[in-house]
Amino acid sequence: MARTPVTFNLNGSPKAAFANPGQNLLDFLRRDVGDLTPKFGCGQGTCGACTVTINGQTQLACLVLAEAVNGQDVRTAGGLGQGATLDPLQESFMDHFAAQCGYCTPGMLVSARALLDQNPRPTRDEVIEAISGNLCRCTGYEPIITAILAVAEGRERA
Amino acid sequence: MTTVETYATLDDAARAMGSDAAYLAGGTLLMRAVNEGNAPDRLVRLNNPNPKEFRSSGDKLILGAGLTMAGVLSLRELDFLHPVARVIGGPQIRNMATVVGNLFAEHPYGDFATALLALGAQVVPVGQGSPRPVEDIFRDRSRVGLISSVEFHRPRDPRAFGFLKVSRVKPKGVSVLSIAALLPREGGRIRGARIAFGAMGATPLRSAGAERALEGQSLDATSIDRAAAAAIEGLDPPTDQIASAWYRREVAGVHLKRLLTGMERI
């Protein structure tokens, strides 16, 4: 079985690993690169638990061919904090009880970060739209929306 | 076992196609099949597709094979199609899914394809072939070769085009049905009405009954009521997890009336 070398940037650091034919990016990141923050939820592009950004745009890692990220810039929830310093969104999710089981949280955070990077002062409707591709079955969406708006409105300590 | 072949140009990719191969564009449908073990043996892809691939020539709009839904939303020239692109999947899907790929999306997907059908769009095959109406693709998707672009004329008045997607979950939900209408008017009369339904059959379908009721008429309460009454003539909608065939038949005319009434006011 011919494996394909893939060289790319993950959360700002160069990475190289071999991808299997037809392997998706989610499986590749988790199994071959060692980033466990994108989650496997459905494997069919419905739930958003595997959301990552590729060149700044949110995509679903389970539907991306791993070898297609060769030379690209990939970011996951694993790159949000710097050491012990969390991203303000992570702080806000804790303060607003926006995570319960936590399975959707990395995908939610990546979608929220992408939104705030492009639009630092989104409206409530824009927040709802931005996380519409991410399913949460525990807390409901209200605490998550509140947590994201708190960062956007500068109410959360940065 | 799936193998992947990567090419620099669509021409090279087209030469590599065959009955055991599928072209990987946005991947939102095909990678799902790969994950589930249902994909063809060979995936053929381009090294570097352009997600904003678009050009225009006079009033002709040419959407390249790489153009994604997010790409559509980034182009002001396609503003009348923004309401369509905005309701395809969630944000992540819109960053991946292509316009041309939507022509191959099976029920209940294909809302953008429904809009392309109403616009009378044509697909341009890779290589020497001449443009063909999108209806040709819907007739037999397995026999269509690679497509380099889809093209159509910008409606002279963008308000002549209307679109409505009906879904239970918002903002991201699968279609109960979708409707696209192109109603060009000359001297207040509709000339060349095209009404297309999505999720009312295996592919997007035109509503011959509604088109006949509107052709040559002014868009008013009387013609709208006639179109709504004739909307499902000849259509045999499917039953799925989202809605039953009975329900789709019952509500198709109601939603068509809502869409047309909204278009009447402007």
Distance from the Cα of B137 to chain A's closest Cα (Å) equals 24
Q: Alpha-carbon distance A86 to B224, whole Å?
A: 57
Round to whole Å and give the CA distance between B240 and B107: 9
CB-CB under 8 Å, B171 with A129: yes
Contact list, A59 vs chain B (CB under 8 Å): 92, 95-96
Residues B62 and B34 in one domain: no
Domain that holds residue B148: 54-153
Residue with tokens 């990395």: A106
Cβ contacts of B32 on chain A, cutoff 8 Å = 43-45, 63
Q: Which residues on chain B are in Cβ contact (under 8 Å) with A75?
A: none
- Where do you find CATH 3.10.20.30 in chain A? 4-77
Count chain A–chain B contacts defined by CB atoms under 8 A: 83
Predicted local confidence at residue B266, as pLDDT: 60
Q: Does the beta carbon of B82 lie under 8 angstroms from any beta carbon of chain A?
A: no
Residues B73 and B17 in one domain: no
Task: Say if the Cβ atoms of B92 and A58 lie within 8 Å.
Answer: yes
Closest to B65 (Cα-Cα) out of B135, B3, B11 = B11
> Looking at the partner chain, which of A51, A65, A67 has a beta carbon nearest the beta carbon of B92?
A51
pLDDT at position A63 is 98
Chain B residue with the nearest C-alpha to that of A129: B171
Instruction: Say which CATH number the domain at B163 has.
Output: 3.30.390.50
Residue B221 lies in a domain: yes
Q: Which chain A residues are closer than 8 Å to B91 by Cβ?
A: 58, 111, 114, 129-130, 132-133
Q: What would the mean pLDDT of A10-16 be, rounded to a whole number? A: 98
The tens digit of pLDDT for each residue in A92-111 reads: 999 999 999 999 999 999 99
Indicate whether B11 and B33 sit together in one domain: yes
Is B159 near chain A, with CB under 8 Å?
no
Q: Determine, yes or no, domain membership for B49.
A: no
- Is residue B259 one of the residues assigned to a domain? yes
CA A69 to chain CA centroid, nearest Å? 15
Give pTM, 2 decimals. 0.96
CA atoms lying within 13 Å on the CB side of residue B30: 25
| B212-217 LR contacts (CB < 8 Å, sep 24+) | B214/B183, B214/B190, B214/B260, B215/B190, B215/B191, B216/B189, B216/B190, B216/B191, B217/B189, B217/B190
What is the DSSP annotation of B26-87?
Answer: S-TTHHHHHHTT-S-SEEEEESS--TT-EEEETTEEEEETT-BHHHHHT-GGGGGGHHHHTT
Q: Tell whether B21 lies on the interface with A, counting CB pairs under 8 A.
A: no
Same domain, B84 and B175: no
Q: B40 and B113 share a domain? A: no
Q: Which CATH architecture has domain A88-152?
A: Orthogonal Bundle (1.10)
- Give every residue of chain B whose pLDDT is below 70, as ranges: 266
Question: A4-77 in CATH: which number?
Answer: 3.10.20.30
Task: Give the domain CATH number at B132.
Answer: 3.30.465.10
How far is B64 from A116, CA to CA, in rounded Å? 30
Q: Of B153, B172, B190, which marks where a domain is finished?
A: B153
Q: With cut-offs at 50, 70 and 90, classify the pLDDT of residue A138.
A: very high
Query: Which of B153, B182, B204 represents a domain boundary (last residue)?
Result: B153
One domain for residues B166 and B257: yes
Q: Do A22 and B3 touch (CB under 8 A)?
A: yes
Q: Tokens in use for B233?
A: 């003539």
Q: What is the mean pLDDT of residues A6-24?
A: 97
**Rounded to an integer, what distance in angstroms lies between the CA atom of residue B219 and that of residue B49?**
42
User: Do residues B121 and B175 both lie within one domain?
Assistant: no
- How far apart (Å, rounded) are the C-alpha atoms in residues B95 and B25? 12
pLDDT at residue number B35: 96
Are residues B20 and B33 located together in one domain of the fold? yes
For residues B115 and B181, membership in a common domain is answered with no
Structural domains in chain B (count) = 3
Q: Which helix (H) or strand (E) holds B150?
A: strand B147-153
Q: What is the pLDDT of residues B70-120, one digit of tens each?
A: 999 999 999 999 999 999 999 999 999 999 999 999 999 999 999 999 999
Chain B residue numbers touching A58 (CB-CB < 8 A): 91-92, 95
Residues sharing a CB contact under 8 Å with residue B62, sequence separation 6 or more, in sequence order: B54, B55, B56, B124, B149, B150, B151
B89 touches chain A (CB under 8 A): yes
A158 pLDDT above the threshold of 50: no
- Per CB-CB distance under 8 Å, the chain A contacts of B36 are 43-44
8 Å CB contact of A48 and B90: yes
Q: Is residue B172 part of a domain?
A: yes
- The answer to whether B43 contacts A65, with C-beta atoms less than 8 Å apart, is yes
Could A24 and B70 be called an inter-chain contact, meaning their C-beta atoms sit closer than 8 Å?
A: no
Residue B142 lies in a domain: yes
Among candidate residues B153, B185, B208, the one where a domain is terminated: B153
Residue in chain B closest to A115 (alpha carbons) equals B91
Token pair of B213 as six digits: 């009721």
Residues B207 and B139 occupy one common structural domain: no
User: Which residue among A43, A59, A134 places its CB closest to the CB of B96?
Assistant: A59
Residues of chain A with CATH 1.10.150.120: 88-152
Residues in chain A closer than 8 A to B4 (CB atoms): 4, 21-22, 65, 67
**B162 lies in the same domain as B259:** yes
Same domain, B30 and B103: no
A148: tokens are: 């994201």
Question: What does pLDDT average to over chain A?
Answer: 95
